[in-house]
Structure 1
Amino acid sequence: MAVGKRRFQAEDWLALGLKELSARGPEAIKLAPICAAAGLTRGSFYYHFNDHDAFLVGMAETWLETQTTNVAAILKGLRDPDVQAETLTDAAMSIDYKLELGIRELARRNGDVADVVKRADNMRLSVLMDLYAARFDLERPEAWDMAHLEYAAFAGLILIDPEMSEERQRDLAARFDLIMRTFFATRDLETDA
């Protein structure tokens, strides 16, 4: 009996879609190009997805899980805020900037994908807020503001330099963290005086 090739599953389509989105942008995940990239027919595509929008939402949900939900769960399991911050920095370094840009472009074009991206942004901001509150003993409103500032810096880096090396990302993350720690340490000294 011959061993057959494993059948292409929905998760294979989604992984391919995310890979193509990162490498070639939103045009690469239209139906004809994605089927060509898979070497499969439209029938195979429609066997797994009701329509192209369902595929796009599935891609966004996969991105949300791998780039946000899983990271938040790991951080929740850590107790030391400084270890959480280091772990979050490591996770941020592994994010594919081109994929982030591609997902956000899809969100601009598709309201259902935009809803998923909004959930990711809110979850990321919430994680950052909790981290600021724990690390610097901040009340929630101030921690929320600091989370927005850091997330805006992160998003801005993606926009201005999606090809940035991990070494450069780490250098900037370390500088940003030093600025935050210095600011709050100085402020605490002023408050104590």
Structure 2
Amino acid sequence: MTGTVRRFTTADWLGLGLAALAEAGPPALTIEALCQRAGKTKGSFYAHFAGSEAYLAALAEHWRERHTRRLVEAARAEDRADAQLSALDQLALRLDERVEQGMRRLAAVDETVRRVCAEVDRERIAYLAELHQVSGRFDAADAQALARLEYAAFVGFQQIDTGAGEAGAAASYALFLKLTGRA
């Protein structure tokens, strides 16, 4: 059967949303803009989502799964805490930071996305704290404090222009590893 158009799946719509968010920010997430980008009708969109609010909630959960839970799962495949931290670092650095930036901008205007972002922040910090404590270099309180600092730096480097460029960010990261005994 030639000329058959593949049906757009829920996963297709969510992947499209993350790409649109990365490229053009929250304004690209209107139903009209998404349908135009996909080359699909509104009927196709509504076959998967009750409306814009349902779509944004699903998009936030999709982001959580792809940008947090999958990374944690992959890092946990390593046997030692230091190896897990290293794997997590490498995986996180490969993510498109524009998605993170876009999700944070979206959280500023959507309560459901704001809630998911806050939950993701807590999940990420908890995992980092667990790894720092299991490493044996930090007690529970210091591991938690270090996790907060590390995560704040990670998000901060994505959100602000430090003027350091890629080389400066790499140097800052190397210093962080040295200060925490990981280098």
TM-score over 0.5 for the pair:
yes
Provide Cα deviations, 1:104-152, integer angstroms capped at 9, x if missing partner: 1111211111121122111100111011112243221221111001111
Q: Distance in 2 between matches of 1:66 and 1:165?
A: 26
Instruction: Name the structure with the higher helix share.
Output: 1
Q: Determine the structure 2 residue equivalent to 1:68.
A: 68
Once the two structures are overlaid, the 10-residue window that deviates more, 128-137 or 26-35, is 128-137
1:173 aligns with 173
Q: Is the 8 A contact 2:71 2:92 kept in 1?
A: no
Any stretches of 5+ residues in structure 1 without a counterpart? 183-193
Change (3 A) 1:19 1:165: farther
Residue 32 of structure 1 deviates from its aligned partner by: 1.3
Change (3 A) 1:134 1:122: same
Quote how far apart the aligned CAs of 1:178 are. Answer: 0.7
Distance 2:16 2:162 in 1: 20
Residues 75 and 88 of structure 1 are in contact (CA less than 8 Å); yes or no, is this contact kept in structure 2?
Answer: yes
Tell me what 1:45 maps to.
45
1:142 and 2:142 are equivalent in the alignment: yes
Which amino acid in 2 is paired with 1:147?
A: A
Task: Note if contact 1:97-1:163 (Cα within 8 Å) is conserved in structure 2.
Answer: no
Deviates more, 1:155-164 or 1:28-37: 155-164
What whole-Å deviation, never above 9, does each CA across 1:42-74 have from its counterpart, x for those lacking one? 111111101101111111111111110011112
TM-score for the superposition, normalised by structure 1:
0.86
For the residues of structure 2 that align with 1:179 and 1:41, how far apart are their CA atoms? 54
Aligned length: 182
Q: Give the Cα separation in 1 of the matches to 2:162 and 2:87.
A: 21
Q: What is the alpha-carbon distance in structure 2 between the residues aligned to residue 162 and residue 70 of structure 1?
A: 29
- Say which SS state the counterpart of residue 37 (structure 2) adopts: helix
Cα distance in 2 for partners of 1:89, 1:163 equals: 22
- Who is 1:11 aligned against? 11
- Superposed CA RMSD: 2.1
Alignment TM-score, normalising by the size of structure 2: 0.90
Bigger radius of gyration, 1 or 2?
A: 1
Matches of 2:71 and 2:124 in 1, distance apart?
9
Distance 1:154 1:46 in 2: 36
8 A Cα contact 1:97 1:162, kept in partner: no
Question: Which residue of structure 2 lines up, in the alignment, with residue 78 of structure 1?
Answer: 78
Paired residues for 1:87-166 under 5 Å:
87-161=87-161
